[in-house]
């Protein structure tokens, strides 16, 4: 149990109790909003022969690109508001907007209604997702100052696992009904309702720890480091963080990682079919299974980064993604395709699992919502650039080798950036 709000910050309180329930709530919210990564299953269904939608690959990517692009708007506002007003209201509003957007997308019936998909799935879905996404990341670092890397990895891991549930479920719903095969968007109504229920249940337990809260063996100021013997390091304000080159370098690292990984994620089902001969059902299963690696990567890389250092981890994340992307258009069999896709998804998720605690380590956790929320502009930039770039390069000619080679080289070049990124003055040295 936590100490009363009047207890001095130096007082140690119990690490057990309700913080674990809050962690469960955070994972539940992330599972609901993480379903956005199942989009390639819907994109493929929209382009199928029996669909009433007659749209190109580029058009099919637009709702997803807009959703990822809108995430930053949500995280920026959500981070600032929850730092001042608390997490519960922001998360509940975010989940509601996200779910309503998904349900609105269910009203689209043919290519002329693409704007409804863009408005519902893209604008409203992405904005609501961003509002809800940033809240547990910032909140849980305050509840778990002794385990920031692991806990934020678990929280955002839930986001990666969202597609594991949604993709195969949506594929079964579409395949099991001729009506849904013609109008795949109809499944969004039921999915949106499910997201709303799960998200509201999870967000209802959110709250910040009381003033002066600490846990045995850790303090708020040294927790991001994970070193309880280190001298106290100051917490940066958002303005102070933005005045450092480190904030921009970390944001660039995240941007490149997102660009690389999402280039596969956005057309994963189609790539699997065209390159390795997957059936539609097998491709949907792949998307779901890869969501598992996305989630595992967020937890695994966060834990690994605590051992080998944050910047060393990011070198590995970007280099592995680059090499796997260059190789994947040559993966002519199912097993090799699975291995390469798994590596890409592991590293893509790993950047999201490692960056929150890295930002906390660089700038402190007091203003984590605003600082990391703004940093997620890298997610939006990469989320727009990656799908647009890969779709344009691959095109209707299915030039997968050209497309993935270009994106892979970008990731390999980006792997040099962590080597020149050091902590700002006023923070302790990296592990």
How sure is the predictor about 138, in pLDDT bands with cuts at 50, 70 and 90? confident
389 to 61, 193, 266, 395, 404: CA distances (angstroms): 11, 33, 11, 10, 10
Residues near 132 by Cβ (< 8 Å), separated by ≥ 6? 29, 33, 74, 78, 90, 91, 94, 95, 98, 199, 203
Is residue 390 within 8 Å of 64, Cβ to Cβ? Answer: no
Estimate to the nearest angstrom the gap between the alpha carbon of 352 and the chain centroid: 6
Could you give the dihedral angle defined by the CA atoms of residues 14, 20, 21 and 24, in that order, rounded to the nearest 10 degrees?
A: 170
Chain-wide mean pLDDT for the chain? 84
Q: Give the pLDDT confidence score for residue 220 in this predicted structure.
A: 42
Write the pLDDT tens digit of every residue in 191-246: 999 999 999 999 999 988 887 777 665 544 443 344 333 445 678 888 899 999 99
How sure is the predictor about 401, in pLDDT bands with cuts at 50, 70 and 90? very high
Please give the domain boundaries of the chain with CATH numbers for all domains.
Answer: 19-420 (1.20.1250.20)
Q: Give the pLDDT confidence score for residue 307 in this predicted structure.
A: 84
Asked if residue 5 has pLDDT above 50, the reply is: no
Q: What percent of the chain has pLDDT over 70?
A: 90
Residues near 202 by Cβ (< 8 Å), separated by ≥ 6? 24, 25, 26, 27, 28, 29, 32, 91, 95
Q: Give the pLDDT confidence score for residue 224 in this predicted structure.
A: 39
Asked if residue 15 has pLDDT above 70, the reply is: no
Q: Which one has a higher pLDDT value, 365 or 335?
A: 335
Q: Which one has a higher pLDDT value, 345 or 370?
A: 345
Q: Give the pLDDT confidence score for residue 216 in this predicted structure.
A: 60
HSE-CB of 270 using CA atoms within 13 angstroms: 29
Q: Give the pLDDT confidence score for residue 19 in this predicted structure.
A: 86
Write the pLDDT tens digit of every residue in 144-201: 887 777 788 888 888 878 877 888 888 888 888 888 888 888 999 999 999 999 999 9
Write the pLDDT tens digit of every residue in 99-113: 999 999 999 988 888
Q: Give the pLDDT confidence score for residue 427 in this predicted structure.
A: 63
**pLDDT average, residue stretch 283-294:** 80
Write the pLDDT tens digit of every residue in 54-91: 888 778 888 988 898 888 889 888 887 887 788 999 99
How sure is the predictor about 320, in pLDDT bands with cuts at 50, 70 and 90? very high
**pLDDT average, residue stretch 280-307:** 83
Q: Give the pLDDT confidence score for residue 2 in this predicted structure.
A: 40
Is residue 148 within 8 Å of 360, Cβ to Cβ? Answer: yes
DSSP-H helix ranges across 183-309: 187-203, 220-223, 238-242, 245-265, 268-276, 280-308
Q: What percent of the chain has pLDDT over 90?
A: 41
Lowest mean pLDDT among 1-10, 342-351, 417-426: 1-10
How sure is the predictor about 14, in pLDDT bands with cuts at 50, 70 and 90? very low
Residues near 70 by Cβ (< 8 Å), separated by ≥ 6? 122, 123, 125, 126, 127, 129, 130, 380
């Amino acid at each position: 149990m936590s100490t009363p709000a009047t207890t001095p910050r130096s007082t140690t309180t119990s690490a057990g109790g309700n913080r674990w329930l809050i962690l469960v709530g955070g994972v539940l919210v992330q599972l609901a909003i993480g379903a956005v990564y199942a989009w390639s299953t819907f994109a493929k269904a929209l382009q199928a022969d029996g669909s009433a939608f007659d749209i190109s690959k580029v058009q099919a990517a637009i709702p997803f690109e807009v959703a990822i692009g809108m995430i930053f708007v949500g995280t920026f506002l959500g981070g600032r508001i929850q730092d001042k007003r608390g997490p519960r209201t922001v998360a509940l509003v975010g989940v509601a907007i996200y779910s309503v957007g998904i349900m609105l997308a269910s009203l689209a019936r043919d290519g002329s209604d693409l704007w409804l998909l863009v408005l519902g799935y893209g604008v409203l879905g992405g904005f609501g997702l961003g509002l809800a996404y940033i809240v547990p990341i910032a909140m849980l670092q305050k509840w778990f100052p002794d385990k920031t890397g692991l806990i934020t990895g678990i929280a955002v891991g839930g986001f990666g696992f969202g597609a594991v549930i949604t993709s195969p479920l949506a594929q079964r719903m579409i395949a099991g009904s001729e009506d849904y095969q013609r109008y795949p968007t109809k499944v969004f109504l039921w999915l949106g309702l499910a997201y709303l229920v799960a998200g509201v249940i999870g967000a209802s337990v959110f709250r910040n720890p009381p003033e002066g809260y600490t846990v045995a063996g850790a303090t708020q100021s040294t927790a991001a480091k994970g070193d309880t013997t280190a001298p106290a390091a100051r917490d940066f304000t958002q303005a102070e963080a933005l005045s450092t080159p480190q904030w921009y370098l970390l944001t660039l690292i995240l941007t490149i990682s997102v660009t690389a990984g999402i280039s596969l994620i956005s057309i994963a089902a189609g790539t699997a079919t065209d390159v390795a001969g997957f059936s539609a059902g097998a491709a949907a299963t792949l998307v779901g299974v890869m969501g598992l690696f996305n989630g595992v990567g967020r937890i695994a890389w966060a834990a690994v980064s605590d051992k080998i250092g944050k910047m060393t981890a990011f070198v590995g994340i970007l280099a592995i993604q680059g090499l796997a992307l260059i190789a994947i258009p040559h993966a002519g069999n199912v097993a090799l395709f699975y291995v390469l896709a798994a590596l890409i998804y592991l590293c893509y998720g790993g950047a999201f699992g490692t960056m929150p605690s890295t930002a906390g380590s660089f700038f402190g956790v007091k203003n984590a919502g605003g600082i990391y929320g703004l940093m997620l502009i890298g997610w939006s930039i990469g989320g727009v650039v990656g799908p647009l770039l890969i779709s344009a390069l691959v095109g209707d000619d299915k030039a997968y080798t050209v497309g993935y080679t270009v994106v892979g080289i970008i990731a390999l070049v980006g792997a040099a950036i962590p080597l020149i990124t050091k902590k700002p003055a006023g923070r302790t040295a990296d592990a």
